[in-house]
Amino acid sequence: GKDLLTLKDLSSDDIMSLLESAIELKQKHKNGEIVTSLKGKTLGLIFEKSSTRTRVSFEAGMMQLGGNALFLSSQDLQIGRGETIADTARVLSEFIDAIMIRTFEHSKIEELADYASIPVINGLTDDYHPCQALADLLTIYEHKKSFEGLKVAYVGDGNNVAHSLMIACAKMGIDISIGCPDGYEPKDFVTAYVNEIAATTGAKVTITKDPVEAVKNADAIYADVWTSMGQEEEAQQRLKIFAPYQVNEELAAYAKSDYLFLHCLPAHREEEVTASIIDGPNSVVFQQAGNRMHVQKALLQAILA
């Protein structure tokens, strides 16, 4: 029912109403207005990998809505010592109202959701990062006021962040162009789904090896890390392969002059993006990070209130 495992779980109308609700909650937060819609509710946060934004945005967001958040490192849970996901899901369902999990294989979150009687939210799996994509959409919407006629270019690794961004754009009718090296394309099952959705919304989906083609006339350029998140061993090889996909002044010059620069963070300056771009006038990366909290508050309210 109310899980968010991937953006496949949401219609474009669902997404639009989350964005509107996020904008309202953000305004209230800025005005110092207290909202207590989640009073008495508890969100458990299971992390099998480290996190700054996901953890703090969910914890702060829950508290701002009058609820509670429990940080559950998998190293401290019995999961880390072999208790099954299924049993963990059933036990946590006895205590709390929703679970957010950051894990590895996407099948793990599916298993958790199958056995939990409470909603499960994806805080990053190997295949998807839906909360990030909602914050990405919110950031684009705040600046461009509409999704009509937009083109978003993602350059780099066709990874979980790219997957969710592609689905988000296709659902909202935004043209999405992925510029990535051979062998680093988005997974076929994601591209197939995105093409299916795009056929109904009119969004144009392009996957190309050419970063210039990807970025040409884009309204937003998106970069993500090349070498973190467990890929440290192949780092040197990746740095070489991805070098032509660095977002720098030369590449960004092909985008529209009022392009937005987006990055899910953490960033590695002078790798996937130059400091001049990420710290420059077109960059909206910290607003984008902040929007994680606002859009997740809207999501939590929709799921739990």
Minimum Å gap between C-beta 26 and ligand CP is 18
Give least dist CB 124 to ligand CP, A.
6
Residue numbers at the binding site for ligand CP (CB under 6 A): 51-54, 124, 132, 264-265
**CB nearer ligand CP, residue 229 or residue 239:** 229
**Closer residue to ligand CP (CB): 131 or 304:** 131
Among 136, 180, 224, 294, the one annotated catalytic: 224
Q: What CA–CA distances, in Å, run from 262 to 13, 39, 84? A: 24, 34, 38
Residue 100 in marked binding region: no
Given 97, 175, 246, 264, the catalytic residue: 264
Q: Is 55 a catalytic residue?
A: no
Torsion angle in degrees (nearest 10) through CA of 142, 144, 147, 150: -140
Smaller CB separation from ligand CP, 52 or 217: 52
Residue from 29, 55, 102, 294 carrying the catalytic annotation: 102
- The catalytic position among 64, 97, 127, 129 is 129
Give me the least distance between CB of 78 and ligand CP, in Å please: 24
Which position among 3, 64, 97, 132 bears the catalytic label? 132
Residue 292 assigned as binding residue? yes
Q: Is 303 helix (H, G, I), strand (E, B) or coil?
A: helix
301 is in an annotated binding site: no
CB of 130 to ligand CP, least distance (A): 11
Tell me: is residue 163 an annotated ligand-binding position: no
Give me the sign of the Cα torsion angle 247, 249, 255, 259. positive
Q: Is 81 a catalytic residue?
A: no
At 30, which helix (H) or strand (E)?
helix 12-31
**For ligand CP, which is the closer residue by CB, 57 or 205?**
57
The three-state DSSP-derived secondary structure of 191-212 is HHHHHHHHHHHCCCEEEECCHH
Task: Please report, for residues 83, 149, 156, 291, the alpha-carbon distance to residue 53 in angstroms, rounded to integers and kept in the order given.
Answer: 28, 30, 21, 10
102 in a labelled binding site: yes
Distance CA 83, CA 110 (A): 17
SS3 of 41, please?
A: coil
Active site residue 219: no
CB of 265 to ligand CP, least distance (A): 5
DSSP structural state of residue 273? B
The active-site residue out of 29, 163, 263, 292 is 292
Q: Is 78 annotated as a binding residue?
A: yes
Which lies closer to ligand CP via its Cβ, residue 205 or residue 264? 264
Which one-letter amino acid corresponds to residue 12?
A: S
265 among the known binding-site residues? yes
Tell me, rounded to whole angstroms, the distance of Cα 227 from its chain centroid: 18
Is 169 tagged catalytic? Answer: no
| b/e sequence 33-60, b meaning 16+ C-beta within 10 Å | eebeebeebbbbbbbbeebebbbebbbb
Nearer of residues 40 and 230 to ligand CP, judged by Cβ: 230
User: Are the C-beta atoms of residues 96 and 42 closer than 8 Å to each other?
Assistant: yes
The nearest distance, CB 132 to ligand CP, in angstroms, is 5
Q: Which segments of the chain does DSSP mark as H helices, in order?
A: 12-31, 53-64, 85-95, 106-115, 130-144, 160-172, 188-201, 211-215, 235-242, 249-252, 275-278, 285-304
Annotated binding site for L-ornithine: 160, 224, 228-229
Q: Which residues are catalytic?
A: 102, 129, 132, 224, 264, 292
Annotated binding site for carbamoyl phosphate: 51-54, 78, 102, 129-132, 264-265, 292
